[in-house]
């Protein structure tokens, strides 16, 4: 009986969690659908109209638009050397550690357990513009949900300093990699063959390319002195996607349906286990 009540509590908690994400995804879907689509030409006209009536710096409106991405000074992703407006990369150390365990009878066993830890993690973004014909509007991507594409995910054996392609890494990534290399390889050398066995390193990198058509949901504002797309000052969505609006809405609908199935299913399980538990008490 007590076991059934535990399962009831677990199922109820899972149902509540799924319900939360159902509401969240449904809310995002409605917000995107409610925002008026604009062209960049219309956006400039709206901002100029408000500036004439109220004054510069007063314009702020939630907008969504599809346009070509233009970036004159893109970032260069350290590992892949791809041109992009945003990247995220990590290096994870994979190793085995000798673990000693003692059971209830006092018997001691030793076994090698595979583990991993992050030793380098970097994320960068840069400003870019959206263009439609002869009209442009700059975008400040700080705070945006950016749809990054994974382009590197590989295991590389050996010491960190021996990993290929590191010579071209500059800036924060290069400094972090050098420090990590010195510290981790020194530790690996001291522990190798005792209670530590180095397997290698997993290198991962994701980027948002510095070209192509993008869909953006943001706040258009001239509070900084000129018209710009940015993170909303109060609340609202800020999305930068390399898929169109229809694909995004379809993805949100599918996600909403899955979470709905989840919360309904777990609610049914909670109800069944509760009834079984009550009947068992009787």
- 123 and 133 both lie in a single domain: yes
Question: Higher pLDDT residue, 42 or 10?
Answer: 42
- 70 and 148 both lie in a single domain: yes
Average pLDDT, the chain: 84
Residue written as token pair 């258009």: 220
Question: Higher pLDDT residue, 39 or 224?
Answer: 39
- 230 and 251 both lie in a single domain: no
Domains identified in the chain, total number: 2
pLDDT score for 245: 86
- 145 and 45 both lie in a single domain: yes
Report the pLDDT averaged over residues 87-107: 89
- 128 and 250 both lie in a single domain: no
Report the pLDDT averaged over residues 183-187: 50
How many Cβ atoms from other residues are within 10 Å of residue 105's Cβ? Answer: 5
Report the pLDDT averaged over residues 1-24: 84
- 47 and 155 both lie in a single domain: yes
Q: Which domain holds residue 268?
A: 1-35+244-282
- 126 and 54 both lie in a single domain: yes
Residue at which a domain ends, from 198, 219, 236: 236
- The predicted model scores a pTM of 0.76
pLDDT score for 1: 53
Percent above pLDDT 70 for the chain: 84
- 226 and 250 both lie in a single domain: no
- 121 and 54 both lie in a single domain: yes
Report the pLDDT averaged over residues 29-41: 92
- 13 and 141 both lie in a single domain: no
- 40 and 27 both lie in a single domain: no
DSSP conformation letters of the chain: -HHHHHHHHHHHHHHHHHHHHHHHHHHHHHHHHHSPB--HHHHHHHHHHHHHHT-TT--EEEEEEEEEEE-SS-EE-TTT--EEEEEEEEEEEEEEEEEEEE-TTS-EEEEEEEEEEEEEEEEEE--EEEEETTEEEEE--TT-EE--EEEEEEEE-S-GGG-TTGGG--HHHHHHHHHHHHHHHHHHHHHBTTTEEEEEEEEEEEEEESSSEEEEEEEEE-TTSS-EEE--SSS---EEESS-HHHHHHHHHHHHHHHHHHHHHHHHHHHHHHHHHHHHH-
Q: Which pLDDT band holds residue 221 (cuts at 50, 70, 90)? A: very high
- 51 and 180 both lie in a single domain: yes
Q: Could you tell me which residues come within 8 angstroms of residue 126 by beta carbon, excluding any fewer than 6 positions away?
A: 71, 73, 74, 75, 85, 86, 141
Out of 26-35, 46-55, 81-90, 184-193, pick the least confident: 184-193
């Amino acid at each position: 009986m007590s076991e059934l009540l535990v399962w009831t509590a677990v199922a109820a908690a899972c149902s509540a969690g799924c319900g939360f994400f159902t509401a969240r995804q449904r809310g995002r879907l409605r917000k995107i659908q409610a925002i008026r689509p604009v062209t960049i030409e219309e956006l400039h006209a709206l901002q100029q109209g408000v500036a004439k009536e109220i004054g510069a710096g007063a314009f702020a409106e939630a907008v969504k638009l599809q346009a070509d991405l233009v970036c004159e000074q893109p970032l260069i992703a350290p590992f892949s050397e791809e041109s992009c407006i945003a990247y995220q990369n990590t290096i994870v150390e994979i190793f085995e550690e000798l673990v000693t365990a003692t059971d209830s009878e006092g018997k001691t066993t030793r076994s090698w357990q595979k583990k991993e830890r992050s030793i380098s993690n970097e994320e960068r973004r840069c400003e870019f513009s959206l263009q439609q014909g002869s009209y442009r509007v700059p975008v400040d991507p700080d705070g945006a949900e950016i749809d990054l594409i994974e382009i590197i995910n590989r295991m590389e054996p050996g010491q960190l300093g021996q990993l290929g392609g590191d010579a071209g890494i500059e800036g924060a990534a290069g400094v972090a990699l050098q420090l990590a290399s010195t510290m981790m390889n020194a530790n690996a050398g001291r522990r190798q063959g005792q209670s530590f066995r180095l397997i290698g390193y997993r290198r991962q990198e994701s980027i948002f390319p510095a070209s192509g058509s993008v869909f953006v949901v943001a706040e258009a504002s001239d509070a900084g002195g000129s018209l710009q797309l940015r993170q909303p000052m109060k609340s609202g969505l800020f999305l930068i996607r390399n898929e169109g609006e229809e694909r995004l809405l379809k993805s949100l609908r599918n996600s909403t349906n899955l979470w709905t199935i989840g919360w309904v299913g777990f609610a049914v399980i909670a109800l069944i286990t509760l009834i079984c538990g009550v009947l068992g008490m009787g």
